[in-house]
Amino acid sequence: MSDTVTIIASTSGRKRRSLTFTIGAFLVGLHIIVGLMTLIWTPFDPGAMSGERLEAASLLHLAGTDRLGRDLFSLIMIGSRIALIVGTGAIVIGGLIGITIGLLAAFASKTLDDVLAAGLDILIAFPTLLLAMLIVASSDGSSLWTAIFAIGIANSAIVARLTRILAKRVLSMDYITASRISGTSWMGVVAIHILPNIWPTLLVNLALQFGLAVIAEASLSYLGLGAPPPNASWGRLLQEAQGTVYTAPLGAIAPGIALVSLVIGINLLADGLRDLADPTRRSRK
């Protein structure tokens, strides 16, 4: 009887994890398709006044129009592309910088390792958004690429600390000593042993950082520090709609739904990737 219950519970857990991964992949895939579609087509020119101001949703304007008469659905579609660009750019920058620093800290002497670890802890103590705001504010002017760079730098400390912890754990294994005795260089150790062993955890973390980067960019744009016009960032759409939220609530609801759906999709996808990349965790469930 107990074996039957265990099998049923295991089957139910696999179905639940499969559903989680499927929903996440669907939501993220939908935004990717929409983002790519905007490169060649949108229902209306996002910068043109295609209707009356603050029109309600209709068959012509699926999400209505904003306070300037622009088609809100077209602007939200452009927002998907910007969110994906920001998320991808931020995790590439944060990943490259963070992994490099983390590996250096793992191979460094105890004194240098302690200094790097303390520096990373200080950076992590700053909220990602606050650190990104400081970087953007100190630059010559706000732009999409400035926001991407700032968010990537802000997220790199988290990646660096995780890489350092994982790499030091691998370096403590006996097979690393055997590999070094056999003549493998330290670069070979990194390529053959460290990176293949730490990438599953790093992949999940970077997926989560993607979602944080999207939220950070929307927050920066809401505060006027993100991508400037004509970039239709969801954060800027929310900021523009706050003055008309009672007369035209869809102007605030629609970009918010788009933002939440992408972030939820990324988090569900990251959870699914965690199970795929970690067989031991999958079997425990």
Q: What is the pLDDT of residue 101?
A: 93
Beta carbons of 251 and 244 less than 8 angstroms apart:
yes
Q: What is the pLDDT of residue 257?
A: 95
Spatial CA neighbour of 62 closest among 44, 86, 85, 81 = 44
Q: What is the pLDDT of residue 137?
A: 78
Extract long-range pairs of 63-67: CB within 8 Å, 24+ residues apart. Answer: 63/250, 63/254, 64/248, 64/250, 64/251, 64/254, 66/237, 66/240, 66/241, 66/248, 66/251, 67/240, 67/241, 67/243, 67/244, 67/248, 67/251
Q: What is the pLDDT of residue 38?
A: 94
Q: What percent of the chain has pLDDT over 70?
A: 89
pLDDT band at 161 (very low <50, low <70, confident <90, very high): very high
Beta carbons of 12 and 5 less than 8 angstroms apart:
no
Q: Is the per-residue pLDDT at 17 higher than 80?
A: no
Residue whose structure tokens are 């929310």: 238
- The three-state (H, E, C) secondary structure of 100-153, written as one string: HHHHHHHHCCHHHHHHHHHHHHHHHHCCHHHHHHHHHHHCCCCCHHHHHHHHHH
3-class DSSP assignment, residue 61: coil
Under CATH, domain 31-284 is a member of which superfamily? MetI-like (1.10.3720.10)
Question: What average pLDDT does this structure show over 145-157?
Answer: 90
Q: Where are the domains of the chain?
A: 31-284
| Digit-coded pLDDT (tens) for 264-278 | 999 999 888 777 766
Question: What average pLDDT does this structure show over 122-134?
Answer: 82
